[in-house]
Chain A
Amino acid sequence: MAPPNPARTGVWVGIGAVIMSFAAYTSAMIVRQGTTPEWHHIALPPILYWNALVLVASSVTLELARQRIGGPFDRLGRTPAVQAAKSREWQFWYRITLALSVGFLVGQFFAWRRLASEGVYLASSPSGSFFYVLTALHALHVLGGIGALLYALRCLHADDGPRSVNVLGAVAVYWHFMAALWVYLLVILALWI
C-alpha cells in the first residue's frame, strides 16, 4: 500500500471543488438556454482549438520533464553519469511547459479580442455572457496552475528531495486536469454556445 500522500489528496479535493463549480456554471447555462427564446449561437474563433492543442502539449512536456528528473527517484533506473546528463533536460522541458502555458493564456486573450471585434461582449447576449464567464474562470485557474508550477520549480531547485517531487506530482495532476477541463469546456462551447 502506498504511504499516504497529503499533497495528492489535497489536489484531488481541490479538483473536486473545481469540477463542482464548473458543473454549476454548466447547469446555469443549460437552464438559461432553456428559458430564453433569443439564444444567439456564437461562432467560436478557431484559435480556441489551437489553444487546446497548446495546453495539451504543455501537459505532455510536463510529463517529459518529470520523467527526466534524476537522482535516486529516477524511475528509468539509469546510471548516475547518464542521470547527470539528463538532469539539464528536465529544466528544458519544464521551461517549454511554462512557455506553452503562457502561450495558451495569450491565445485566449486573442480569442476574446476576436469576439469583441465581432460585437460579442460579456453583457451583449446570454451566450456571450457564458462564453466569457467560462473561459475567464478557466484562464484564472490556469493562472493559478502556472503559479503552482513556479512554486514546484522553486522546490525542485532548492532540492528538498522527496518532498519537491511529491509537490510536482500533485501540481502535475492539477495541470493535466486543466487541460482536460479545457477540452470539456470546448466541447460544451461548441455544442451549446
Chain B
Amino acid sequence: MDNVSASITELPPAAPHQHAAPDSFIRKYVFSLDHKVIGKQYLGLGLLAVCTGMFLSWIMRYHLAFPDKPVPLIGLIAPTFAAGGVITPEFYLQLMTMHGTIMVFFVLTTAPFAGFGNFVLPLQVGAEDMAFPRFNMMSFWVTFVAFAVLVAAFFVPDGPPLSGWTAYAPLSAVGKSSGPGEGLGQSLWVVSIAIFCIGQLLGSLNFIATTLDLRAKGMTLARMPYSTWAWFITSIIGLIAFSVLLPACVLLLLDRVAGTSFFIPAGLVVSDALQPHSGGSALLWQHLFWFFGHPEVYIAIVPGFGIISTILPAVCRKPHLGPRVLIACQLAIAGLSYMVWGHHMFLSGMSPMSATLFSVPTLIITIPAAIITLLWLGTIYGSKLRVNTAALFCLGFVSVFVTGGLSGFFLSQPSIDTYLHGTYFVVGHFHFVMGVAAMFGIFAGTYFWFPKMFGRMMNETLGKWHFALTFLGVYATFMPMHWLGLEGNVRRYSSFPSDYMHGSLALHRFITAAALFLGAAQLIFLVNLLWSRLRGPAAPDNPWDATSLEWSTTSPPPFDNFAGVHPVISHGPNEYGVASARGDYIMQTDPPSAAASSAVA
C-alpha cells in the first residue's frame, strides 16, 4: 500500500491466503478451503465414479457376449430392474446411459482437470492457494451434489434414463411416454448435469484467476510448466463450453416439466398419444449439446497433454522438444475445437454444405495434434529414460493417442461417416482417445504426484504390473471394435438379432473377455493406492529430480504450500540435461546462475 494516490480501482489485492490453517476435522477434510484437499476430494470422487462406471460396463459387456444368459449376481443388486440377472433391452440402455454420463462428466472432466489441477496448479505457479478458496470449496461440493443427484436416478421407480449420455430430444424431452426411465430418471439426469455445469464454472473461475494473477515473482507466462498451461487452456475451453450446456439443460428441463417446445416439433405421436407440443427443433438440442460436447472431449484430453509434457522431460532427462510450438498447438486445438461440433451431426439432416464446413476444421485439427505427438516422440528420441510407472503411462499415452486419433480421421470425412456413423468404429475411436488415453493421463499423473500428495512412494512393482496388463488389455478390448464397425455392427444395441450381425458374436466375446481382464487389472492399482497410502515408504521432496515448483517444497507441502517463503523463479521448467550442482537439471527456484549452490535431496 505504498501508492497513496492510486485510484480506487488499482489497489493491490489482499493476500490470497485469507483463511487461517484449519483446526477441526470438518474444516481439514470435509469443508476445506485448501486447494490440496479439494484436489484430493475431486480425485476421490473421480475414483468412486470410475469404479461405478466400470462396473456398469462389465454388466453391459457380459450381456453382449451372452445375450441369452442372466448376468451372475446382478439379480441380487438390482432385483427390480434385472430380476434374476436378466438384462432387459431397456435396462441395458439405462446402464449404457449412466456409464457414459458418469465416465465423461464425473471421471474425465473431474480427475484430470479439477483433481490434479487443483492440487498442482497453485503449487506450480508459486501461490499459496487458489484465488477464491471459498468458490473452490463450493465447486467441489456442487459437483458432489450433482453426482448424488445422478446416482439417485438408479433409485427411482422407473430407473435411470435410457437416452444415452447425449440425451437427444425428443426422446429425452417428451417424458415417460418415450420409454422406461424417461420420466423422473431423465429429469434427475438433466438437473444433475445442470448442477455439474455450475460446479465447473466455479472451477474455471479459480483456475483462470489464479493463473493470471497469483503467479510468484519471476513466474512469467513463458516459464509456466506445461501442465499449468494445459489446465489454464482447459479452464478457458470449459468456461465457454459449460456456459452453453447449462442453457441447453434449462431449456430441456422446461420442455419436460413446463410444457414448452424448444426441442419438440409438432405432430409427434409417442406411444399412441399425439404430443401437445409444436414448433420446436430436435436439431437445436443437437447443436447446443455438441457445441459443448466437442470442446468437452478436449477438456478431457488437454490436461493429459499437459501431464505427459510435464512428466516426459523429467523421465527422459532432457528438455521437451519445441515447448513454444507445444503451447501454440494446444491453443490452436482449443480454438479449433469450437468449429467442429457438426461432425457429430453429419447425418442429422443439417445442410450438406455445413457438413463440409465442419469436416475441414475437423481434419485440420489433426495437424496440431500430430505435431504435439511428434514433439513427444522427439523428446523421447535420444533420451536416457528412467522407466518408472509414470514414464510407462506417458509412453503408453503416446501409443494409444496415436491409435485413437487416427481412427478419427475416418469419421471426420462425411462420406465415410455415412458408413461408419453409429457403428462400433465410433465406439472404438472415442474409447481409445477418452477411455484409454485420458485415463493413461490420469494414471501417469497419479504415479507422478502421489508422493507429493501423500508423502509416500507408490510401489513400483505393482505399478509396472498394472501398466503392463492395462496396456495389453486396452488394445485387446478396444482395437477389435474398429473391425466390428467396419462390418457394420451397430452401437447402442443390447443384442444383435439382425442376420448380418450374428457373425460378430465371437468378436464380442473376445472383447468382453479382454474388458473383464482389463477391469481385474485395475485391482492392482487400487491395492497399490491403498497400500502405499498407508504403508508406502516416505517420499523425499523431489523423488523424480523434476524442475517445477511443487518439487521445491516438502512432500506433502505445508498448509500454505511454501512455509511462508515466497518463491522467486529464475528459470523455465525445461532445464533438463544441463550440467548443474544438482546434476543434470536446474529447478525453477534455483538462483539465476546455472551452478546452483543449495543442494536439495
**A–B contact via C-beta, under 8 angstroms:** yes
Residues of A near any B CB (own CB < 8 A): 2-10, 13-14, 16-21, 23-25, 28, 31-32, 35-39, 66, 69, 72-73, 75, 77, 122-123, 126, 129, 133, 137, 160-163, 165-166, 169
Residue of B nearest to A160 (CB): B14
How far is it, in angstroms, between the C-alpha of A39 and the C-alpha of B280 when the chains are bound? 11
Cβ of B131 under 8 Å from chain A: yes
B247/A163 in contact, CB under 8 A: no
Looking at the complex, which one of A14, A19, A23, A122 makes contact with B260 (CB distance below 8 Å)? A122
A17/B239 in contact, CB under 8 A: yes
In the bound complex, residues from chain B placing their C-beta under 8 Å from that of A9 are 131, 208-209, 212-213
Cβ of B288 under 8 Å from chain A: yes
B243/A4 in contact, CB under 8 A: no
**Mask for B117-145, Cβ within 8 A of A = 1, else 0?**
00000000000000110010000000000
Q: Which of B223-267 contact A (CB under 8 A)?
A: 239-240, 242-244, 246-248, 250-251, 254, 258-262, 265
- B285: shortest Cβ distance to chain A, in Å? 9
- B462: shortest Cβ distance to chain A, in Å? 41
Cβ of B565 under 8 Å from chain A: no
B280/A32 in contact, CB under 8 A: yes
- B254: shortest Cβ distance to chain A, in Å? 7
Looking at the complex, which one of B132, B212, B244, B284 makes contact with A4 (CB distance below 8 Å)? B212
Cβ of B11 under 8 Å from chain A: yes
In the bound complex, residues from chain B placing their C-beta under 8 Å from that of A69 are 8
In the bound complex, residues from chain B placing their C-beta under 8 Å from that of A25 are 247, 251
How far is it, in angstroms, between the C-alpha of A1 and the C-alpha of B10 when the chains are bound? 10
Looking at the complex, which one of B9, B210, B279 makes contact with A126 (CB distance below 8 Å)? B279
- B321: shortest Cβ distance to chain A, in Å? 32
A28/B288 in contact, CB under 8 A: yes
In the bound complex, residues from chain B placing their C-beta under 8 Å from that of A73 are 6, 8, 11
**Mask for B6-43, Cβ within 8 A of A = 1, else 0?**
11111111101000000000000000000000000000
- B424: shortest Cβ distance to chain A, in Å? 32
B278/A123 in contact, CB under 8 A: no
Q: Known contacts A4-B212, A129-B260: does B13 contact A163 (CB below 8 Å)? A: yes
Cβ of B504 under 8 Å from chain A: no
Cβ of B281 under 8 Å from chain A: yes
In the bound complex, residues from chain A placing their C-beta under 8 Å from that of B8 are 66, 69, 73, 75, 165, 169
In the bound complex, residues from chain A placing their C-beta under 8 Å from that of B208 are 9-10, 13
Residues of B near any A CB (own CB < 8 A): 1, 4-14, 16, 131-132, 135, 201, 204-205, 208-210, 212-214, 239-240, 242-244, 246-248, 250-251, 254, 258-262, 265, 278-281, 283-284, 287-288, 291
B1/A162 in contact, CB under 8 A: yes
How far is it, in angstroms, between the C-alpha of A120 and the C-alpha of B12 when the chains are bound? 51
Residue of A nearest to B213 (CB): A4
Query: Taking each of A6, A13, A19, A28, which has the highest tally of chain B beta carbons within 10 Å of its own beta carbon?
Result: A6
A20/B240 in contact, CB under 8 A: yes
A5/B258 in contact, CB under 8 A: no
- If over half of B's interface residues share one DSSP class (helix, strand or loop), that class is named, otherwise mixed; here it is helix
A10/B131 in contact, CB under 8 A: yes
Q: In the complex, given contacts A13-B209, A13-B239, A24-B248, what are 20 additional A-B residue pairs having Cβ atoms less than 8 angstroms apart?
A: A3-B13, A4-B214, A6-B132, A9-B131, A9-B212, A16-B243, A20-B244, A24-B288, A35-B265, A122-B258, A122-B260, A123-B258, A123-B259, A129-B254, A133-B254, A137-B250, A162-B11, A162-B14, A163-B13, A166-B13
How far is it, in angstroms, between the C-alpha of A13 and the C-alpha of B10 when the chains are bound? 18
Q: Known contacts A20-B244, A28-B288: does B132 contact A35 (CB below 8 Å)? A: no
How far is it, in angstroms, between the C-alpha of A160 and the C-alpha of B11 when the chains are bound? 13
Q: Known contacts A9-B209, A31-B287: does B13 contact A133 (CB below 8 Å)? A: no
Residue of B nearest to A137 (CB): B250
B209/A38 in contact, CB under 8 A: no
- B65: shortest Cβ distance to chain A, in Å? 42
In the bound complex, residues from chain B placing their C-beta under 8 Å from that of A17 are 201, 204-205, 239-240, 242-243
In the bound complex, residues from chain A placing their C-beta under 8 Å from that of B279 are 32, 35-39, 126
In the bound complex, residues from chain B placing their C-beta under 8 Å from that of A21 are 243-244, 246-247
Looking at the complex, which one of A6, A10, A133 makes contact with B251 (CB distance below 8 Å)? A133
How far is it, in angstroms, between the C-alpha of A47 and the C-alpha of B524 when the chains are bound? 67
Residue of A nearest to B15 (CB): A163
In the bound complex, residues from chain B placing their C-beta under 8 Å from that of A4 are 13, 212-214
In the bound complex, residues from chain B placing their C-beta under 8 Å from that of A36 are 278-280
How far is it, in angstroms, between the C-alpha of A121 and the C-alpha of B7 when the chains are bound? 48
In the bound complex, residues from chain B placing their C-beta under 8 Å from that of A31 are 281, 283-284, 287
What are some 20 contacts across the A-B interface (CB < 8 A)?
A9-B209, A10-B131, A10-B132, A20-B244, A21-B243, A24-B243, A25-B251, A28-B247, A31-B287, A32-B279, A36-B280, A39-B279, A123-B260, A126-B261, A126-B279, A129-B261, A133-B250, A133-B251, A163-B13, A169-B8
- B114: shortest Cβ distance to chain A, in Å? 16
- B20: shortest Cβ distance to chain A, in Å? 16
How far is it, in angstroms, between the C-alpha of A129 and the C-alpha of B279 when the chains are bound? 12
- A93: shortest Cβ distance to chain B, in Å? 15
Query: Taking each of B11, B132, B254, B261, which has the highest tally of chain A beta carbons within 10 Å of its own beta carbon?
Result: B11
Q: Which 6 A-B pairs have the closest CB atoms?
A: A36-B279, A4-B213, A20-B243, A123-B259, A6-B131, A162-B11
- A120: shortest Cβ distance to chain B, in Å? 13
Residue of A nearest to B259 (CB): A123
- B283: shortest Cβ distance to chain A, in Å? 8
- A4: shortest Cβ distance to chain B, in Å? 4
In the bound complex, residues from chain B placing their C-beta under 8 Å from that of A37 are 279
- A193: shortest Cβ distance to chain B, in Å? 14
How far is it, in angstroms, between the C-alpha of A75 and the C-alpha of B260 when the chains are bound? 52
In the bound complex, residues from chain B placing their C-beta under 8 Å from that of A8 are 9
- A127: shortest Cβ distance to chain B, in Å? 10
In the bound complex, residues from chain B placing their C-beta under 8 Å from that of A77 are 5
Residue of B nearest to A20 (CB): B243
In the bound complex, residues from chain A placing their C-beta under 8 Å from that of B4 are 72
How far is it, in angstroms, between the C-alpha of A160 and the C-alpha of B214 when the chains are bound? 21
Query: Taking each of A24, A72, A123, A161, which has the highest tally of chain B beta carbons within 10 Å of its own beta carbon?
Result: A24
How far is it, in angstroms, between the C-alpha of A163 and the C-alpha of B278 when the chains are bound? 52
- B290: shortest Cβ distance to chain A, in Å? 12
How far is it, in angstroms, between the C-alpha of A31 and the C-alpha of B303 when the chains are bound? 34
How far is it, in angstroms, between the C-alpha of A5 and the C-alpha of B135 when the chains are bound? 16
